[in-house]
């Protein structure tokens, strides 16, 4: 079969041109929206911090961690004494990504958890060997550190993030 | 294309060739985002934007798109508009964006969008393609909103506004607007099953069954009317023939 070089160049050129123009459009809109998106995320984070420990006050700036799934933490105080920490954690797997604010009390028990972002698709495969999250929730002290809390990959990811936060605090790591 | 055909391109997808109820396309988001009316309406808006923009651009480029790379070109155009719509939604409607999650990105492979590009926009001018996009977008939005209303009312017992479109809650003094229907003070007739994906399948099945039954009944009535009219015409012709003969 004889290759029509002129036509081949036309096809390649058309695709390259189309992709170039559309990439410019994406770059333009990104430039326009990225600051707004960043501000939205910060606003959501600020609102989330209030919901994790409603009775406490966030003390000072966040401490950067960047260890495993943990990104940073805030120390929360109530009446002058340390109430606990709020960890910001981010994790992803093949099914999407999850961003959490995890509250851990100073006695290393679990406080409220706020989901900032969840793009996990529905889980398709069940992991065997995990305890029922509802039964586990009855005993909070064991549910916090030693109990798996879900059946799907998304729930497993959340569990890992929570365990990392709790063990980071428990390990006394600054 | 005549004005009548343009009108048909816009009006037909609203009901007669509705992409969800008649063509049975775009079923995945129709089941996934119809738990609440607000989410379904939001999805409908984003879907319409993507469909209209991709239809218009593909129609405008139809004479230059080489036959060999037709489908890749459509996919690139659709993916671009999905990305743009996603960015705008994340910036200006963050609650809607987080409610819809991965289903906004999945619009790239939505068979209605690709189907309209292939079947209509690639063969028609910009204006008819625009009308076709708007018609199909509105038709799809109506369809998913209908399923969402049924699921939300049956599943949660009430309609809630302001959770996804937060400006509605702001207008109501920061409180979500709740319309109690099956759930209120002292009574709760809601069935949470309808909020689950299985409930979505059931509602869609029932709605489709009703539509098929109504359509069949209409067609049967038309056929019966045509038969009666033919019979009457035959009798009239026979009577006229008898009169002629008597003369």
pLDDT digit string, tens, across residues A140-162: 444 444 333 344 677 888 889 99
- pLDDT, average across residues A120-141: 49
What pLDDT is attached to residue B211? 92
Give the closest-approach CA distance of B223 to chain A in angstroms.
47
| Distance from the A128 Cα atom to the nearest Cα atom in chain B, whole angstroms | 23
Confidence category of residue A174, pLDDT binned at 50, 70, 90:
low
pLDDT of B150 reads: 95
If one compares A119 and A51, the residue with the highest pLDDT of the two is A51
Q: Do B84 and A11 touch (CB under 8 A)?
A: no
Mean confidence (pLDDT) of chain A: 81
* The pair of three-digit structure tokens given for residue A134, joined into one six-digit string: 């509802």
Give the per-residue pLDDT at B148.
94
Specify whether the CB–CB gap between B100 and B46 falls below 8 A.
yes
Query: Is the predicted pLDDT of residue B213 greater than 90, yes or no?
Result: yes
Give the domain ranges of chain B: 3-157, 196-246
Which of A65-74, B151-160, B188-197, B202-211 is predicted with the least confidence, judged by mean pLDDT?
B188-197
Closest to B90 (Cα-Cα) out of A58, A49, A35, A148: A35
The residue-averaged pLDDT of B5-32 equals 87
Please give the residue of chain A at the shortest CA–CA distance from B75: A19
Which pTM does this prediction carry?
A: 0.79
Say what the pLDDT of residue B52 is: 97
Mean pLDDT for chain B? 91
Domain ranges of chain A: 55-170
DSSP-based three-state secondary structure for B237: helix
Checking if the pLDDT of B3 tops 70, the result is yes
Q: SS3 for A110? A: strand
A window 10-29, beta carbon within 8 A of B: 10-11, 14-15, 18-19, 22, 25-26, 29
* B61-103: pLDDT as tens digits: 999 999 989 999 999 999 999 999 999 999 999 888 888 877 8
- CB atoms A18 and B88 under 8 Å: no
Query: Environment class of residue B114 by beta-carbon count within 10 Å: exposed (0-12), middle (13-18) or buried (19+)?
Result: middle
Q: Which of A9-18, B33-42, B183-192 has the lowest mean pLDDT?
A: B183-192
In the block, tokens 């879907």 appear at: B47
Q: What is the H or E stretch that residue A112 is in?
A: strand A110-118
ipTM score for this prediction: 0.81
* B92/A36 CB distance under 8 A: yes
How far apart, in whole angstroms, are the C-alpha atoms of residue B119 and residue B104?
A: 23
Residue B172: CA atoms inside 13 Å, Cβ hemisphere, count? 13
Look at residue A91 and tell me whether its pLDDT is greater than 80: yes
Most confidently modeled of A47-51, A93-97, B3-7, B41-45?
A: B41-45
Contacts of residue B166 in chain A, CB cutoff 8 Å?
none
């Amino acid at each position: 079969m004889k290759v029509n070089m002129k036509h081949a160049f036309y096809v390649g050129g058309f695709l390259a041109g189309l992709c170039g123009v559309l990439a410019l459009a994406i770059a333009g809109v990104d430039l326009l929206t990225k600051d707004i998106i960043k501000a939205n995320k910060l606003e959501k984070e600020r609102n989330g911090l209030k919901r994790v420990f409603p009775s406490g006050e966030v003390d000072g700036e966040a401490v950067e961690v960047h260890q495993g799934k943990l990104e940073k933490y805030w120390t929360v105080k109530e009446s002058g004494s340390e109430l606990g920490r709020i960890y910001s954690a981010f994790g992803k797997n093949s099914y999407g990504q999850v961003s959490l604010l995890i509250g851990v009390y100073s006695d290393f028990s679990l406080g409220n958890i706020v989901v900032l972002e969840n793009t996990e698709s529905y889980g398709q495969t069940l992991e065997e060997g995990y305890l029922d999250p509802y039964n586990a929730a009855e005993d909070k002290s064991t549910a916090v550190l030693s109990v798996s809390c879900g059946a799907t990959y998304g729930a497993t990811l959340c569990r890992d993030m929570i365990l990392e936060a709790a063990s980071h605090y428990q390990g006394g790591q600054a | 294309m005549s004005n009548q055909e343009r009108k048909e391109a816009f009006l037909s997808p609203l009901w007669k060739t509705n992409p969800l109820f008649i063509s049975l396309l775009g079923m995945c988001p129709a089941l996934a985002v119809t738990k609440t009316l607000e989410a379904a309406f939001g999805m409908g808006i984003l879907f319409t934007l993507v469909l209209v923009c991709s239809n218009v651009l593909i129609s405008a480029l139809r004479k230059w798109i080489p036959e060999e790379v037709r489908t890749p070109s459509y996919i690139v155009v659709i993916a671009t508009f999905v990305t743009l719509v996603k960015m705008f939604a994340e910036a200006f409607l963050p609650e809607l964006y987080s409610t819809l999650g991965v289903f906004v990105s999945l619009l790239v492979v939505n068979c209605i969008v690709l189907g309209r590009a292939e079947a209509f926009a690639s063969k028609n001018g910009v204006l008819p393609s625009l009308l076709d996009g708007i018609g199909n977008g509105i038709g799809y939005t109506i369809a998913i909103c209908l399923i969402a209303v049924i699921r939300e009312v049956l599943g949660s017992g009430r309609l809630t506004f302001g959770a996804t479109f937060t400006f509605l809650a702001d207008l109501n003094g920061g409180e979500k607007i709740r319309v109690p229907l099956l759930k209120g003070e002292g009574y709760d007739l809601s069935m949470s099953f309808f909020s689950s994906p299985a409930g979505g399948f059931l509602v869609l099945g029932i709605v489709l069954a009703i539509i098929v039954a109504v359509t069949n009944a209409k067609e049967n009535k038309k056929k019966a009317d045509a038969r009666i009219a033919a019979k009457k015409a035959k009798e009239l012709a026979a009577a006229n023939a008898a009169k002629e003969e008597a003369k």
